[in-house]
Amino acid sequence: MNFAINAIYLEGNRTGIGRYLKNILIQWAKDHPDNKYYLYFRKDIPTDDFLQAPCFIKKVVKAPGIFKKWILWENLFLPWALYKDRKNIDWYYSPSYTIPLIQPIKKVAVAIFDIYYTVKPEWIPLKNRFTQSWLSRRAARKADLVICASDFDKNDIVKYYEVPEDKVKVVYLAAELKFQPAEKNPQNPIFFKYKIKPRYILCLGHIINRRVQHKIIEAFGHIQREHSDVSLVLVGQNRTCPFIDIQKLVDDNDKNNSIVWIHYVDEADIMDLFQQAETFIYLTIYEGESIPLREAMASGIPTITTPMLSEVTANAAIYVKDAKNSQEISQAMKKILTASHEIKEKYINAGLNQTEKYTWDGCARDTYDLFKNYEIQ
């Protein structure tokens, strides 16, 4: 089988979708090197070593000025490139929610990891509400395969987009192998680079309303005096809608310079930030999967999350039932900060056991099998 893939998510600073696509492609190149994978980029071809494999055919589809915006590029320029290559391609695969309105490839698959913009449209800017929801719904209905990462996501896609249940397939995500437990080292350069105290609670991910980072900041403010040796390290850009003034919240709740807000960290530092943390907190009021939670468990640190993400953490987390309740969040923080070595080890071992169940190798192979099985139906 030969694939055409929208690869713009490999460009620039990679977030979850880019890391997902990278790991899928690495494994496909190992397992199926005789296939051809046509990768279409918008600006530049990344220089990753894995992309040098001969099975990858890399193309930059150029667009002028404003037409580089993803929605215009995907619908005005990408289809023409696909049309020219269509005779060599069996599947078009989009790793992120949408497909071109004009689709020259006969068989199409799309990954949709959650549909918060449809279920909770008030969380995205007004100018994007129609396009994101409508395009994603259309992609789910037009695609031959819809791939998601949890039963939570599948149930919502089937319900809100009214697509057949047997077309939506769940493939669980994973943590990269580089995320491993490590000894705590107060001399680690990240403490000096980011001005972090030797003990810290890590909260990493885009700052968006459903992840209630504003409540996490308030909760940490409640415990600062009794835990003055602990930092809250908040990593992520502020993408809240309606807008929440995160800097003001940090200023109002930070009594002793213990809240560190890092808008973006180098990829090389992420592993150290996980490994050296006392605990990782990731709360949500709408979400079915979290790669950062998986990375935290793989790094050997206890996690705090919400029951909504129990598919990810199982019995490896302290659960906050009401993610909007800063007092309950504070109690969860104090529980792990004051826990005995034995209790912490219980959560750590449960997290490592959970991590072993899911690998990127397995994710890539399960995803490939969906295409293969579709072919022989």
Q: What is the pLDDT along the chain (377 residues), one digit of tens a residue?
A: 999 999 999 998 787 899 999 999 999 999 999 999 999 999 999 999 999 999 999 999 999 988 888 889 999 999 999 999 999 999 999 999 999 999 999 999 999 998 999 999 999 888 787 788 999 999 999 999 999 999 999 999 999 999 999 999 999 999 999 999 999 999 999 999 999 998 999 999 999 999 999 999 999 999 998 999 999 999 999 999 999 999 999 999 998 889 999 998 888 899 999 999 999 999 999 999 999 999 999 999 999 999 999 999 999 999 999 999 999 999 999 999 999 999 999 999 999 999 999 999 999 999 999 999 987 76
Cα(60)–Cα(39) distance, integer angstroms: 8
Q: Which residues contact 163 (CB under 8 A, 6 or more apart)?
A: 140, 141, 146, 157
Q: What are the structural domain ranges in the chain?
A: 3-174+359-376, 189-356
Contact 114, 29 (CB under 8 A): no
> Whole-angstrom Cα distance, residue 16 to residue 113?
10
Q: Map residue 303 onto helix, strand or coil.
A: strand
Extract the tokens encoding 89: 């391609």
What architecture does CATH give domain 189-356? 3-Layer(aba) Sandwich (3.40)
Query: Cα–Cα distance between 236 and 253 in angstroms, integer?
Result: 18
Q: What pLDDT sits at residue 128?
A: 80
**In b/e form, how buried is each residue of 159-186, taking b as 16+ CB within 10 angstroms?**
eebebeeeebbbbbbbbbeebeeeeeee
Residue 72 structure tokens: 């215009």
Angle between helices 151-161 and 126-142 (to 10 degrees): 90
Residue 321 to residues 122, 212, 234, 305, Cα–Cα distance (Å)? 23, 13, 21, 9
- The angle formed by the CA atoms of residues 291, 203 and 17, to the nearest 5 degrees, is 30
Q: Looking at the domain 3-174+359-376, which fold is it?
A: Rossmann fold (3.40.50)
Q: Give which of 108, 102, 110 is closest to 21, Cα–Cα.
A: 110
Would you state the pLDDT for residue 237?
94
Residue 61, pLDDT score: 96
